[in-house]
């Protein structure tokens, strides 16, 4: 879960109880919450007049807002953030996790690392069905994040060679390499041999850094090879599943609002950068909850996302998660995703030490 901001003000007990009741009531009904409703539904030990006064104070502090068509209040983004950061969500829905676990354990039991994409895709489909929200998968699509098993090369002509990087995932990255002027196959082959010597069980970016450290100056061949290595690896991939579930939520009854969300998920590069940033900030095996404008991309400011960064030996492999309205059922989703984060990252850790 996103770490609490140490600069965030701390509400006293009365304000927190009223805020929690208001957020919970709004999540449940999608309607503004009045003082009588909050007190009656959540057992607050205050009179309706006292609750109204506290709601007014919370509104002045920016945690609640007051729709002009209703006497009730609804939470602001700040109110939702405080609620998520200060609620200890009990893991009470064990049935939901056990149902999900029965589906994913057979997938994880025998799946090699090369099946990372298909495995997490099926997991997200299952999570979406149980949570009622759309799910997403982010795959890095970049060799720099994945360890290299071997580098192979073979001459194609006097001016060209085929470079093949074999990743631990089982994927092959191929590039036709054109020799710089005055350079031929012998020097290229020596550089590839050096890569295999220094790059055992290392990421591609680590191999590139080691090559530079070992080299006095930089030859034209090495400079050209490093440029090709930097280009290897395909593009980031962000996929959305269960998009029809948005239509069941009142917040997305407006077609334009819905189109904005879908357009945001088409911004592959921007989304990839966003999830990459959060992957570096999240503690190991934790989840990240981003709410409203925290999602940074236009179109997602009406959404909440609960995501799981997946990593192995410090390398980010991708992120999965669910996306829905800011009025998300956090009490249902957060415990489920926390358990799933532990399980998936444990699965990735079982490949540590493999070469």
Higher pLDDT, residue 174 or 7? 174
pLDDT of residue 351: 78
pLDDT band of residue 34 (cuts 50, 70, 90) is very high
- The Cα 92–Cα 86 span in angstroms is 18
Positive or negative, the CA dihedral 81, 85, 86, 88 is positive
pLDDT band of residue 162 (cuts 50, 70, 90) is confident
For 13-86, the fitting CATH number among 3.30.70.100, 1.10.10.10, 3.40.47.10, 3.30.2290.10 is: 1.10.10.10
Highest-scoring range by mean pLDDT, 52-61, 87-96, 188-197: 52-61
Strands 74-75 and 148-155: unpaired
pLDDT of residue 355: 41
pLDDT band of residue 145 (cuts 50, 70, 90) is low
pLDDT of residue 159: 83
What class does CATH assign to 94-141+235-349? Answer: alpha beta
- What is the average pLDDT across 225-235? 58
Whether residue 232 is predicted with pLDDT greater than 60 in this model: the reply is: no
| Weakest-pLDDT range from 157-171, 176-190, 218-232, 248-262 | 218-232
pLDDT of residue 322: 97
pLDDT of residue 211: 72
Whether residue 354 is predicted with pLDDT greater than 70 in this model: the reply is: no
pLDDT tens for each residue of 236-246: 678 899 999 99
For residue 342, CA distances in Å to 7, 126, 319 come to 29, 16, 13
pLDDT of residue 240: 93
pLDDT tens for each residue of 194-215: 888 877 677 766 777 777 676 6
pLDDT of residue 210: 76
Task: Quickly count: other Cβ atoms within 10 Å of residue 141's Cβ.
Answer: 17
Structure tokens at 176: 């036709």
pLDDT of residue 320: 95
Beta bridge partners of 321: 136, 307
pLDDT tens for each residue of 280-320: 776 666 899 999 999 988 899 999 999 999 987 777 888 99
- Round the average pLDDT of the chain to a whole number and report it: 84
Higher pLDDT, residue 130 or 179? 130
Closest CA relative to residue 239, chosen from 97, 118, 115: 118
What class does CATH assign to 144-231? Answer: alpha beta
- CATH fold match for the domains 94-141+235-349 and 144-231: no
pLDDT band of residue 141 (cuts 50, 70, 90) is low
Could you give the dihedral angle defined by the CA atoms of residues 36, 41, 47 and 51, in that order, rounded to the nearest 10 degrees?
A: -70
Strands lying side by side in the sheet with 288-291:
237-241, 134-139, 315-325, 303-312, 288-291
Q: So where are the chain's domains?
A: 13-86, 94-141+235-349, 144-231
Whether residue 163 is predicted with pLDDT greater than 60 in this model: the reply is: yes
> CA-based diameter of the chain, in Å?
88
> Where are the alpha helices (H) located in the chain, listed in sequence order?
13-29, 35-42, 48-60, 77-86, 94-110, 116-131, 185-198, 204-214, 220-231, 255-264, 268-281, 330-349
């Amino acid at each position: 879960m996103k770490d609490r901001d140490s600069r965030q003000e701390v509400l006293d007990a009365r304000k927190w109880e009223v805020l929690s009741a208001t957020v919970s009531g709004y999540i449940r009904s999608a309607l503004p919450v009045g003082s009588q409703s909050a007190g009656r539904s959540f057992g607050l030990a205050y009179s309706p007049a006292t609750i109204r006064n506290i709601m007014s104070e919370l509104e002045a502090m920016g945690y609640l807002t007051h729709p002009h068509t209703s006497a009730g209040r609804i939470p602001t983004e700040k109110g939702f953030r405080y609620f998520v950061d200060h609620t200890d969500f009990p893991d009470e829905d064990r049935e939901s996790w056990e149902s999900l676990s029965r589906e994913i354990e057979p997938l994880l039991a025998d799946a090699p690392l090369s099946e990372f994409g298909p495995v997490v895709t099926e997991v997200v489909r299952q999570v979406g069905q149980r949570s009622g929200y759309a799910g997403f998968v982010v795959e890095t699509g970049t060799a720099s994040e994945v360890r290299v098993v071997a580098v192979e090369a073979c001459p194609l002509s006097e001016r060209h060679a085929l470079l093949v990087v074999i990743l631990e995932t089982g994927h092959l990255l191929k590039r036709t390499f054109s020799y710089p002027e005055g350079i031929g196959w012998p020097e290229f082959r020596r550089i590839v041999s050096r890569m295999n010597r220094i790059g055992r069980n290392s990421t591609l970016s680590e191999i590139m850094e080691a090559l530079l450290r070992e080299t006095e100056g930089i030859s034209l061949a090495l400079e050209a090879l490093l440029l090709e290595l930097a280009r290897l690896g395909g593009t980031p991939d962000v996929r959305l599943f269960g998009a029809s579930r948005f239509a069941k939520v009142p917040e997305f009854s407006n077609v334009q609002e819905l189109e904005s969300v879908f357009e945001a998920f088409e911004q592959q590069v921007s989304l990839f950068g966003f999830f990459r940033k959060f992957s570096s900030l999240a503690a190991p095996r934790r989840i990240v909850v981003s709410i409203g404008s925290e999602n940074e991309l236009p179109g997602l400011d009406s959404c909440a996302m609960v995501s799981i960064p997946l990593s192995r030996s410090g390398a980010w492999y991708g992120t999965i998660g669910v996306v829905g309205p800011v009025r998300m059922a956090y009490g249902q989703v957060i415990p489920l995703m926390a358990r799933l984060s532990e399980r998936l990252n444990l699965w990735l850790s079982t490949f540590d030490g493999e070469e």
